[in-house]
Amino acid sequence: MTYEMGVSREVKKRNKAGMKIRENIYQAILWILLLILAACMILPFFYVLVLSFTDSSVYVAGKFSLWPEKWSLAAYNLILSGSGFANSLKSTVIITAIGTSLNVLVNAGLAYMLSKPIPGRKFFNKYVMFTMLFAAGMVPNFMNIKLLGLIDNYLACILPSVCGAWTVMVMRSFFQSLPIELEEAAKIDGCGQVGIFGKIILPLSKAMLATMTLFAFVSYWNTYFNSIMYMTSTSKSTLQVYVQKIVLSSNISDVVDVEVAVANAVPQEIMRMAAVVVVVLPVLVIYPFLQKYFQAGMMVGAVKG
């Protein structure tokens, strides 16, 4: 009996050791695959960044390099010196600042309202969900903006994206997960509904609000289609349209508004890469400050459906 128990223990130890080895192999393979996937995503952008800093004297078309032989800021100086970039940056900053603020405020207010037992809540919830499945389309949207007199107005790029059904649903789920006792205690102390929302609900929703702010910021910063559709003045075009013109233009001087001789001093490929970096850089700078809220906000907002 003792012998059989000893053999059984030995078999269990071997099985555990075998399972641990298999688990380690699985983890190693998983890490290798994830590293390869990360490299596939990072290397193209790193190549764009390196090429944008490459001096024109050492640039060779079609040559792949992850480190420039000679550094230069000529492409960035050329882009930043043109009036086209300044006007596009101004338009994008205005649209992003106003749009992001309105987006978070409107979505949070509507979501908070839908999280409460108000009259007609089921109808409004279904109405919001309906907009996730069906949209008016490009032509009706254009006619609507035109009839409102918003053609060549920044509001044409702001208002269509102010309220989003998905954002409202996530925020509503988060507000429903907050303890109702906090609101009841505030009401006993004489706090009104607006005061409860501003002094209690919003401070408790920092993670979720930071996440939605990041989403809204990226969306407005990347405004492209609405700018093409509704902005008739070149001076009001966004940065994305500006970069698109640089990428597709055969003559960079027409886009960056500088002399032809100055524009031709820098290869067009380097100019294109520098333009991409200039547009993407603000998002990369802001993301690390909001990253700690990103996962928490998304997970907490999905507690209830």
In tens, the pLDDT along 258-271 reads: 555 555 667 777 77
Per the prediction, the chain carries an average pLDDT of 80
pLDDT digits (tens, 9 = 90+) for 228-241: 989 888 888 888 88
Report pTM.
0.78
Q: How sure is the predictor about 32, in pLDDT bands with cuts at 50, 70 and 90? A: very high
pLDDT at residue 303, as a whole number = 46
What percentage of residues in the chain have a pLDDT greater than 70?
A: 82
Q: Which CATH architecture has domain 74-301?
A: Orthogonal Bundle (1.10)
Q: Domain-by-domain residue ranges, the chain?
A: 1-52, 74-301
- Identify any residues that bridge with 71 across adjacent strands, giving them in sequence order: 54
Across 154-175, average pLDDT: 88
pLDDT digits (tens, 9 = 90+) for 81-102: 767 788 888 899 999 999 999 9
Write the DSSP assignment of 170-211 as a string of letters. Answer: HHHHHHHHS-HHHHHHHHHTT--HHHHIIIIIHHHTHHHHHH
What's the rounded Cα separation, in Å, for the pair 286 and 292? 12
